[in-house]
Structure 1
Amino acid sequence: MLGHSFLHGGPCFAGLSRAFVHVLLQGSEETATLQLEDCPDVDIRETIDLVLGRRTRQIKQIRRGLKETFVWNLLNERKDVALFPKESEDSCTPEMLLSHISWHRSDDEDDDDDDEYSPDIKERITGYLKQLIETASSKDLKNLLKFWVGWERMEANMAVEIVKSDFPKSSNCFCVLRQPGHYNDFQTFKKDLLMCIGTCKYGFGHV
């Protein structure tokens, strides 16, 4: 369509991103500069503008706070200080996650739903969860953390409950992962849990 339009003097594509044109004409992707105007949807463009404006104000507030507490001078003088680690450095391993989990809640904390399952069923479901954590990828572990506590930071009081439910649920404020007790095989358990944690990017703390 593009070639036919150009060859026959047809209408130009007024909404074509200049960054796309740059790459189309053999330019490097690294040197392509995206502009707010590259987004053809006006409503989405306004939303992006609002988000970027809010982020700019927040960055200025953080910078002012760092200067007032003299941390700014430390960051300028000591480039080796890892105050803001890269995401690749903020690892989440199975061992780290397993060490933060409380597998058995005390009797006074158990609710009525939890009591409907026998110790054998609870042991089977928690065993499935341990197996998934031990074999999951780093991305899945981080998604599990987001689904469990609301962000990618492990909490000291992360708990597991076995409840009557169709699918896994979580209570972010109390760091409780509620697992259904109806699973009889690991593959079905894994499929449902991965499906649920895959929605975590739309949840609390990820606006």
Structure 2
Amino acid sequence: MIGHSFLHGGPCLSGLSLPVVILLTGGNADSAASALTLQDCPDLDHRETISLLKKTQLTEEEMTRLTNLCLFWDLPVPSLRNRDWLFQQLLSHAVLGRVKCQIKDLRKGIKDTGIWPLLSQRLDSHHIVFPRESVQDITSQGILQKIVWPKPVDNMDYEDNDDSITVEKMCVITGYMRRFIEEASPTMLNHLMKFWVGWELPEENLELELVTAKFPVAYTCFKTLRLPCHYKSYAAFRNSQE
């Protein structure tokens, strides 16, 4: 799916940590481990527990949490001498060790699609096939330029349209939407894109439609967002989106 989506101009797979991408594209375990950071750990509970090794003093409860995790993953219990080593071992297992089989299967599938030579020989292609959300510059203007704004249509040609959606109402609601995007924080823009298309990165040709309904509805496969047109004020519109 990853390979075919890339070959046919579809969405690429974002959200993978750099160490996972290194292994997925043919890198060795040492290179992947050297790129590890605490933020790469996907499990927030494990991340918090592993971070305790960076503290100078631990409470009895914190030591118990660490010890339990170490024993569960067949690692020695923490001591003053092995903290740095244990931190790296726990982090490596949390990010890479637990998904080793999945990475192997994904890599096999990518090889079957024919894009493996590109990934293995062109390191500069990795950020294109596996874009990192942390470095994506998602801006309000970038999203606004990708939206296909609704236009007045004949009621006979569009079943969801009715006489209550006038041109004036259409202008008001689209104005609310434009203002909401312009004022939204980067986090809110990410949430909007995830609701609209299923992932955080904006796509081309984001369809926006106005309908008579109670709540916004997204058809992610078609990159279509249907907005109700009953809002009487921008405040009501903004509150419903948040």
Using the size of structure 1 for normalisation, the TM-score is: 0.63
| RMSD over aligned Cα atoms | 4.0
Cα deviation per residue 1:11-54 (whole Å; 9 max; x = unaligned)?
Answer: x88x8212996499994695360587x9xxxxxxxxxx6x7633
CA apart distance, 1:3: 5.1
Q: CA deviation at 1:103?
A: 1.4
Within the candidate set 70, 87, 91, 1:18 is matched to: 70
Name the CA shift for 1:52/1:31 in 2 (closer, same or farther; >3 Å): closer
Distance in 1 separating the partners of 2:89 and 2:190: 31
Would the aligned equivalents of 1:125 and 1:183 in 2 still touch at CA under 8 Å?
Answer: yes
* 2:237 aligned residue (176, 185, 189): 189
Give 1:152's aligned residue: 200
Report the counterpart of residue 141 of structure 2 in structure 1: 95
Counterparts in 2 of 1:1-207, with a 5 A limit?
A: 16-18=68-70, 22=78, 27=83, 31=88, 33=90, 53-62=101-110, 65-67=114-116, 69-75=117-123, 82-83=127-128, 84-105=130-151, 107=153, 110-194=158-242
CA distance in 1, matches of 2:214, 2:196: 17
The AA in structure 2 aligned to 1:136 is A
SS state of the match for residue 116, structure 1?
Answer: coil
The Cα of 1:88 is off from its aligned counterpart by 2.5
- Contact kept, 8 Å, 1:19 with 1:34, in 2: the verdict is no
Counterpart secondary structure, 2:209: strand
Identity score, percent: 31
Q: Which structure 2 segments of 5+ residues have no match?
A: 1-58
Q: Which has the higher contact order (CA 8 A, sep 6+)?
A: 2
Structure 2 distance, partners of 1:93, 1:19, is 45
Moved more, 145-154 or 161-170: 145-154
Note if contact 2:133-2:201 (Cα within 8 Å) is conserved in structure 1.
no
Residue-pair matches, total: 172
Q: Secondary structure at the match of 1:162?
A: strand
In the TM superposition, residue 143 of structure 1 has moved relative to its aligned partner by 1.8
Residue matched to 2:43: none
Flag the 1:70–1:54 CA change in 2: closer, same or farther, 3 A: closer
| Contact persistence 2:118–2:125 (CA under 8 A) | no
Aligned to 1:200: none
Distance 1:74 1:192, change over 3 A: same
